A = this chain, B = another copy of it.
Amino acid sequence: MADEVILLDYWPSMFGMRTRVALEEKNIKFDYREQDLFNKSPFLLEMNPVHKKIPVLIHNGKPVCESLIQVEYIDETWPGGNSFLPSDPYQRAQAKFWGDFIDKKVYGPTRLIWGAKGEEQEAGTKEFIEMLKMLESELGDKTYFGGETFGYVDIAMIGFYCWFDVLEKCGNFSIEAECPKLIAWAKRCMKRESVGKSLPNSDKITKFVPELKKKIGIE
């Protein structure tokens, strides 16, 4: 039976980008279905009734929700190519720790940088740089977070890269000045076909942010 793979997604989502990159890495053809998050489709609500969020990966009719869970699912379902997670339990736990760190600690500050003003925005910027420095310290001089192989933590983080330009403009800071190794890592990742074709252009994100602020009523 041919696999039917559908991805319910929204183009600027750094979470959706994870799943796109993971599918591309495994060379899985998928039916990308852009969602209107301001007018959610009955199909999205049916496929993710609990969180009502994208991305939703639907494999042969069965939905998998939450991007990092999707990345693991893709890795386990299509074992061809590089494994995203190492086989050693300790190394696996470390990779999962940093993926979870990105969700818990990196995402929040980004919203303050583009969505808040004044002190709140400054606090977001400070926090964001601090979190990026922790990631950079974990990366060290390695090619990818897991070493020589592009994997789980790279996939978890890379979608944020196309938001860097707009974050720098909003927060008035330079990520490269603070975290040069992290930028070099992102540029390495961008050379991969899977990443290059899954991430939108930074300019498109920069133009999108004022629209988004209007849509959610903060401008």
Q: Which residue of B lies closest to A49 (CB)?
A: B134
A69 touches B50 (CB 8 A): no
Which of B73, B90, B101 has a CB less than 8 Å from the CB of A93? B73
Residue-wise, chain A 183-207 has the 8 Å CB interface mask toward B (1 for contact) of 0000000000000000000000000
Distance A8 CA – B66 CA, assembled complex (angstroms): 29
A92 proximal to B (CB < 8 A) = yes
A64-B93 contact in complex given A50-B101, A101-B50, A134-B50, C-beta closer than 8 Å: yes
- Residues in B neighbouring A105, C-beta threshold 8 A: 50
How many A residues face the partner with a CB closer than 8 A? 22
- Residues in B neighbouring A96, C-beta threshold 8 A: 66, 69, 72
A178 proximal to B (CB < 8 A) = no
Report A3 CB to chain B, min CB distance, Å: 12
Q: Which residue of B lies closest to A59 (CB)?
A: B90
Q: Which residue of B lies closest to A94 (CB)?
A: B64
Distance A50 CA – B99 CA, assembled complex (angstroms): 13
A sample of 24 inter-chain contacts (CB < 8 A) reads A50-B97, A50-B101, A50-B105, A50-B134, A59-B90, A62-B90, A64-B90, A64-B93, A64-B97, A65-B97, A66-B96, A66-B100, A69-B93, A69-B97, A69-B100, A70-B93, A72-B92, A72-B96, A73-B89, A73-B92, A73-B93, A76-B89, A77-B89, A77-B90
